[in-house]
Amino acid sequence: MIAAFVAKDVAGPATPTANGSSTAQVQLAELPIGAWHPMAGYSRDRFKHWVTQGNGCDTREVVIERDGKDVRKDASCRATSGKWVSPYDNKQVSKAGDLDIDHMVPLADAWRTGADKWTDERRSQFANDLTAPQLLAVSAASNRGKGDQDPASWKPSNQAFWCTYATNWVIVKHTYQLFVTQAEHDALVSMLATCPS
């Protein structure tokens, strides 16, 4: 497994990323290819998210602080000020309320590609994972544009982020042993081709 890490850029957000696109290509080749499972039984409530992470902060609040610069919080752990750069669209954000926390692999996509067989505890772990590059503070507009789509249907408008996006997508799928569709696989191959050699 590739070790994910958070790289804080002076000009941008803390961006979950991974070292080595070649390793991501190997991991992508190891992912099974299959057809989506039905959505029967799916609910976001089956993926309990934004659980408490300690010190009164929930997962969402931790990601907002991690991905921002000069973030100040109130006594309830809510960000009252800070600066963020949404990597999907390269938009500058100055209010935490204008951010969404994106699940790199959307909950519905996870359900369709294997999470329908998981326990609710495993789903909650997936929805709150601060270790794998699964959670990212992005502009609300970019997150809502993405919805539950995979890379075959949606890619960040910021093409400079495609390598990181595809690498992180593969890491999450590989870590959680989810499969990919053929179209998703092919889109990821194309996106990984944008990585520096």
Given a cut of 90, whether residue 19 has pLDDT beyond it is: no
pLDDT of the residue at 170? 98
Q: Is 179 exposed, middle or buried (0-12, 13-18, 19+ CB in 10 A)?
A: middle
Domain membership of residue 147 (yes or no) is yes
pLDDT of the residue at 11? 37
Q: Among 7-16, 74-83, 88-97, 182-191, where is mean pLDDT lowest?
A: 7-16
Given a cut of 80, whether residue 10 has pLDDT beyond it is: no
Q: What's the rounded mean pLDDT across residues 121-130? A: 98
- Give the containing element (helix H, strand E) for 50: none
CA gap 42, 164 in Å, rounded: 29
Q: What's the rounded mean pLDDT across residues 53-60? A: 91
8 Å CB contact between 185 and 33: yes
Q: How many domains does the chain fold into?
A: 1
Given a cut of 80, whether residue 179 has pLDDT beyond it is: yes
Q: What's the rounded mean pLDDT across residues 13-32? A: 72
pLDDT of the residue at 55? 81
Given a cut of 90, whether residue 103 has pLDDT beyond it is: yes
Its domain, for residue 46, covers 4-192
Given a cut of 70, whether residue 90 has pLDDT beyond it is: yes
pLDDT of the residue at 21? 65
Domain membership of residue 80 (yes or no) is yes
The secondary structure of 112-143 as a DSSP string is HTTGGGS-HHHHHHHHT-SSSTTEEEEEHHHH
pLDDT of the residue at 54? 81
CA gap 169, 150 in Å, rounded: 9
What is the percent of the chain where pLDDT is above 70?
Answer: 89
What is the percent of the chain where pLDDT is above 90?
Answer: 87
Domain membership of residue 30 (yes or no) is yes
Per residue in 142-157, pLDDT (tens digit) is 999 999 999 999 999 9
Identify the DSSP state of 2.
P
Given a cut of 90, whether residue 16 has pLDDT beyond it is: no
Helix axes 162-175, 21-30, angle to 10 degrees: 40
Domain membership of residue 197 (yes or no) is no
Given a cut of 80, whether residue 17 has pLDDT beyond it is: no
Given a cut of 50, whether residue 124 has pLDDT beyond it is: yes
Given a cut of 80, whether residue 20 has pLDDT beyond it is: no
